[in-house]
Amino acid sequence: MADINLNGINNMQYDVLREIGNIGAGNATTALSQMINAKVSMNVPKVELLEFKELSDIVGGAEKIVVGILFTLDGDVDGMMMFMMDKLASMHLVNILLGNMEETKPTEETEFSEMGLSALNEIGNIISGAYLSSLSSLTNLTITTSIPYMAIDMAGAILSVPAIEFGKIGDKALLIETEFGDKDNYVNGYFILIPTLKSYSSILKSLGL
């Protein structure tokens, strides 16, 4: 039962994985909302089994410029965790945090300052940490994360990194994706959890499935 087959995931497994996304992202959005002192809501997590060519559609197209903060996971669950935000949204977030609100509105061309980049890394760290620690306490599994790796580039290019890891074992990627945003949609983005196939089994097994 705990064995997961990419071609035939049953409804029960889908539900459990969706719930994991719910709990993880719930904690992460709470952390984010405390950081910026505003309400941040999230949508119902999606558990998606995608072909590689469909992968970048989930975040709004392969060419969209995003900030991707990637963590590699190790321990009982290995794989990758990606925190992805629209470039403008992440600039907005950094401005809120650093108190730069009076500065001119950021545009697509604005560059991050050193300070901004470092703040962004830290945001990624805290938020992903909140996601993963709730996952870890729910399942009783040890999850260690790498330092954050950040890239600002086209979504397709950034997603190629986890896609390649999945490509080594199959032709599809199974991921748990949650979209979040504040009410004005200034600060919106995605959490994408991409465990390896083996780790999906560990997660499901730990929950008695």
Among the listed residues 167, 11, 113, the one whose alpha carbon sits nearest the alpha carbon of residue 159: 167
Q: Which tokens sit at 37? A: 């002192």
Contact by Cβ (8 Å): 134, 23 = yes
Binding mask 41-60 for other proteins (x = CB under 8 A): ----------xxxxxx----
Contact by Cβ (8 Å): 187, 92 = yes
Contact by Cβ (8 Å): 121, 71 = no
Contact by Cβ (8 Å): 73, 167 = no
Nearer to other proteins, 20 or 120 (CB): 120
159 near other proteins, rule: CB under 8 A: yes
Q: Which of residues 166-185 bind other proteins (CB under 8 A)?
A: 167-171
Binding mask 62-101 for other proteins (x = CB under 8 A): xx-x--x-x-x-----------------------------
Binding site for other proteins (CB under 8 A): 51-56, 61-63, 65, 68, 70, 72, 146-147, 149-161, 163-165, 167-171
